[in-house]
Amino acid sequence: MMLHSQYLIEFTYLIATALFILSLKFMSSPATARHGVWAGEVGMLLAIVGTLLNAGIVDYRWVAIALVLGSMIGVPLGMVHMTAVPQRTALSHCFGALCVTLVGASEFYLQSPNVPKFTMSVLAMEVILGSLTFTGSLMAAGKLQEWLPQRPITFKGQNFVNLGLLAGTVGVAVFLVMHPERANLFPIILGVPFMLGVMMIIPIGGADMPTVISLLNSYAGLSAAAMGFVLNSKLLIIAGALDGASGFILSVNMSKAMNRSFANVIFGAFGQEQTKTASAVEERPVKSATAEEAAAILGAASKVVIVPGYGMAVAQAQHKVRELYDTLTKRGVDVKFGIHPVAGRMPGHMNVLLAEADIPYDKLMDIDDANSDFPQTDVVLIIGANDVTNPAARTDKSSPIYGMPILDVDKARTVMVIKRGMSPGFAGIDNPLYYLDKTLMLFGDAKAFVGSIVRELTGGGGHG
């Protein structure tokens, strides 16, 4: 009977593992991303069910309490606005990492003083990465939610102190592998990384937090994989390794899209530029236009590229953008979308919003395709994007975003920009695009302004 249920558990885990791998595969294309969510959810459900079948569980009451508590926290967390997803994700890592750390600590005290060398090595890795990720993720969520100051907090010799603390912790861990009976040292490999998580995040500016979160995602995955070795669970090893690798690849890709090196993200205190330059928006004349004028220009164009950014997400303007797309397409205008890989506040942010509004996926161009299209484009309509269109990234060596690949919207014949005022974007810097002769500023909230353009085009009247 026991043997049967063991087979059943292993089988459930096998299916769950396959579903996790499929989930990542599906996620690699927006066309199949929804299947990816389903595969991930069913995989996780099977993993939980398989674990609940474990004969080692002697009392289900605690499990039931944990399930109720977890659901009470998880359900509201799942309902946050799309713009708050980065900090929500950080909180999820934080819970995962806390769980890994607690399991690691209890395993150590259960097995101590006779912890085999291999178990002690992976256990130390699990606890160090877990506790560091716990406080690091809490700090990252706090910074993104603006509960904590976004600007980097730095002091002299900071990187040296952090590296010293890490080296000291690893040293103690190695000693514990040799002498697992010295249980009194265990709190060090638990406590110092707790502190290190805080110390590692305070010098990193808010602008780099999404990259840091995907790095923490990777740490949480690796610590879960280490826990898999401790608990002898293949499912945890595989799921943790998938999580660790995908988080790492994502952070590298995000750094690339921002033209930053990994070391620069982690040690560079990039966000300092934000406060320094935020007030430096120039008071130069710009040309502005009404919704009526914008509608006339768009209606007369034969090729239009829409460039969405963070402002479209904040205004939740994607459904109005879909109406604009439909209206212009009906008039025979060729409408496409230029998508920058770090537009918005998380990877794929624009793709998700446009997919939510059912905008055909084949109308979305990546940065390279969009850039080769702009010279033949009549009108580029920028909706709440700023940094990702800033030509200073190409020309101004002193700019903090110099070298970042951008959408070359200034190569189009006419540029129209919907934003509420002249405020800078995330990097906190002025955008020379707004002062070009070919640029028209359309001041207003993205949703309201796009709505007004649609009304003008469909003969409904109204101004932006």
Residues binding ligand NAP (CB under 6 A): 207, 210-211, 254, 258, 309-311, 314-315, 342-347, 349, 384-388, 418-421, 423-427, 445-446
Between the CA of residue 360 and those of 315, 337, 352, 365, 432, what are the distances in Å?
Answer: 21, 10, 12, 11, 32
* Cβ distance to ligand NAP smaller for residue 20 or 270: 270
* Cβ distance to ligand NAP smaller for residue 239 or 350: 350
Least separation in angstroms between CB 322 and ligand NAP: 16
What is the side-by-side order of every strand in the sheet holding 303-308? 364-365, 334-338, 303-308, 379-383, 414-419, 439-443
Residue 232 · residue 296 · CB < 8 Å: no
Beta-bridge partners for 303: 334
Tell me if residue 377 falls in helix, strand or coil: coil
Cβ-closest position to ligand NAP: 425
Tell me if residue 414 falls in helix, strand or coil: strand
* Cβ distance to ligand NAP smaller for residue 242 or 342: 342
* Cβ distance to ligand NAP smaller for residue 133 or 211: 211
Least separation in angstroms between CB 406 and ligand NAP: 9
Between the CA of residue 104 and those of 65, 188, 298, what are the distances in Å?
Answer: 21, 14, 60
Burial class (CB in 10 A: 0-12, 13-18, 19+), 371: middle
Residue 275 · residue 430 · CB < 8 Å: no
* Cβ distance to ligand NAP smaller for residue 123 or 258: 258
Catalytic residue check, 387: yes
Give φ, ψ of 332 to 5 degrees: 90, 10
Least separation in angstroms between CB 24 and ligand NAP: 18
* Cβ distance to ligand NAP smaller for residue 47 or 342: 342
Structure tokens at 110: 């259960």
What's the CA gap between 427 and 392, in Å, rounded? 12
Least separation in angstroms between CB 349 and ligand NAP: 5
Residue 309 · residue 344 · CB < 8 Å: yes
What's the CA gap between 456 and 331, in Å, rounded? 13
Least separation in angstroms between CB 135 and ligand NAP: 21
Least separation in angstroms between CB 163 and ligand NAP: 25
Residue 373 · residue 336 · CB < 8 Å: yes
Among 387, 408, 410, 430, the one annotated catalytic: 387
Known catalytic residues are 387
